[in-house]
Amino acid sequence: MKKVFLVDDEIIVREGVRGRIDWAAEGYIYCGDAEDGEIALPLIEAAAPDIVITDIKMPFMDGLQLSKILKQKMPDIKIIILSGHDEFQYARDALRIGITEYCLKPFSSGDLLQTLAAVSKQIDAEKKKKQEIESLRQEIHKSVNASKEKLLLDLCFGSITAAEALEASSALEINVLSRFYRVILTEFVMIDAEPAAASTASLNQACCELEQRLLALGDHLHFRRNKKEWVWILKGDHPDRLEETVQHLLNQLKPDVEAVSPYRLIIGVGSIRDRIQEISSSFMEADEDRSYQRIWNKYQFIQIRGGTDSLQDFLQFDRNQLLDFLKFGEYARIKDFTDSYASGVKGYDWSNSLYGYYFLMDVTVTTAQWLKEASTDHEEILREIESCEKKIVQIRSWQEALEFIENILRMTVHFRMQLKDSSTSIVQKAKDYIHQHYDEADISLQTVASYVNTSPSYFSSLFSQETGQTFIEFVTKTRMKKAMELLKSTNAKSYEIAYQVGYQDANYFSNLFKKITGKTTKDFRKEG
């Protein structure tokens, strides 16, 4: 219901309008009246009516003066002027101010209601239009944000070239250029269980706090990967600046955020890179680092009996050594590696201490994580690893621990060797897929990795090792080769060929073609 306010110096008019109309039945709220503009103004500001009905001629502040002030202070308000037949000049001035309607005196209740209905209809139309504009604005905002997130995701997954990234970022008004890059992943993990509603509220608050603090440190790119996880592409003009940012995050922001929220902040850090194309490498490192930080998050509250050192300080071993062996270690060296890697826990009292248990748990979790990254076809071996993990509590000596680790490594290295034997067929299968789908604009490392049943990170590494070129380079080369064939064998326009080989932007295709071949499409075709 719309609120109506009346201003008229004649009390008989005010009482008549107020009393002769059943305002609620007509769909309005009569929210007040006043005898002149000066008295009416503060009342109108307090009542915030949708419609003001005002006489033109009044003492102290007339209707035109009042209307002019209201249009400045409350531009959305609708004003109906009451005027006599001899006040045409006043009515014309009122229309210049932006008065919505006018009603000639004398008027009946029906005349006024008819005018109110017209004004009310206008209010509804304007409100609907504003809602449509706001809805459109939100849709555009969502679309732009989705495009920005897709661009950043493509950078992290290595499914876009530097040239494509720069062109897309320019269109989206994102500055991706920087001398150096470093990817970090942040994830909030609940410490103690709490109600779902409270959890959502506290999580959003923690995310907002971290986002504001990190953005205050520089013009960094970021997007929300899921409910609890953010991906940050840090930018800097010197490696030291990026290192300072990470240390500030780890040593100050992390404790500050954790102190005021029920969450543990897990942070994965990638290495510093100096090329746009290498952002994906830093991302994969950060993702891997975050996975291992999750492991330690489970154990960080464990204290050594009789002391205050953390478990992580007590267990002195380099997990990267285990990772290197999982990736490259030879079957014949499993025993030697195990003896060396487990030497730091040789003196444990395996019958009374829990630390040996956590050491072996770390071996199994690290191995399982690597297997998940190496291949999507890992369910069977993971079941075997899980079966071994259940036997950890039965281990009572260092020698038994060695046998346990050796068994885990034998299974994993054997699995890796099987993957290697099938790597040629995997890459060939991927090549065949690319040759069949190069004309699809949305072909990506992720889609092809899914097709050949491997993880994107493992597929990217495997493809580069087997072919000597990156996935993007191979797709681009395939597309350019087909474009050359079409230029020689058809009369299709350059923009038509661009679409046929998977490029939606004809200008980008032309520039890329010239960069690769050294010739424009026109010159290439002429040379026949």
pLDDT in tens, 117-144: 999 999 999 898 888 888 777 776 666 6
Looking at the structure, tell me whether residues 97 and 215 fall in a common domain. no
Q: Which long-range contacts (CB under 8 A, 24 or more apart) does 293-298 make?
A: 293/266, 293/267, 293/268, 294/187, 294/189, 294/266, 295/362, 295/365, 295/366, 297/189, 297/264, 297/266
How high is the pLDDT of residue 295? 58
**What is the pLDDT, as a whole number, of residue 198?**
46
Provide the pLDDT for residue 85.
55
Whether residue 121 is found in the same domain as residue 260 = no
Which tokens belong to 501?
A: 């080989």
* pLDDT for residue 337: 92
Domain closes at, from 253, 269, 297 = 297
456 prior amide bond cis, ω within 30? no
Residue 142 lies in a domain: no
pLDDT score for 528: 64
**pLDDT number for residue 305:** 35
Please give the angle made by the CA atoms of 220, 222 and 225, to the nearest 5 degrees: 165
Confidence at residue 311, expressed as pLDDT on a 0 to 100 scale? 44
In a domain, 319, yes or no: yes
Contacts of 298 (CB under 8 A, 6+ apart): none
Last residue of a domain, one of 247, 265, 297: 297
Question: Has residue 272 been placed in a domain?
Answer: yes
Calculate helix-pair angle for 334-341, 398-437, nearest 10 degrees. Answer: 120
The two tokens of residue 176 are 């991706």
Same domain, 480 and 437: no
**Amino acid symbol at 210:** L
Domain stops at, among 130, 162, 196: 130
**Enclosing domain of residue 226:** 178-297
- List of the chain residues with pLDDT < 50: 195-198, 299-314
**Residue 487 and residue 441 share a domain:** no
Are 478 and 446 contained in the same domain? no
Same domain, 204 and 321: no
Give the length of the chain.
Answer: 528
Q: What is the pTM of this model?
A: 0.48
Domain match, 377 and 477 both: no
pLDDT in tens, 226-260: 777 889 899 988 988 888 888 888 888 888 878 77
Where do we find the tokens 């299709």?
492
H helices present in 21-161, as ranges:
23-26, 37-47, 63-73, 88-97, 109-157
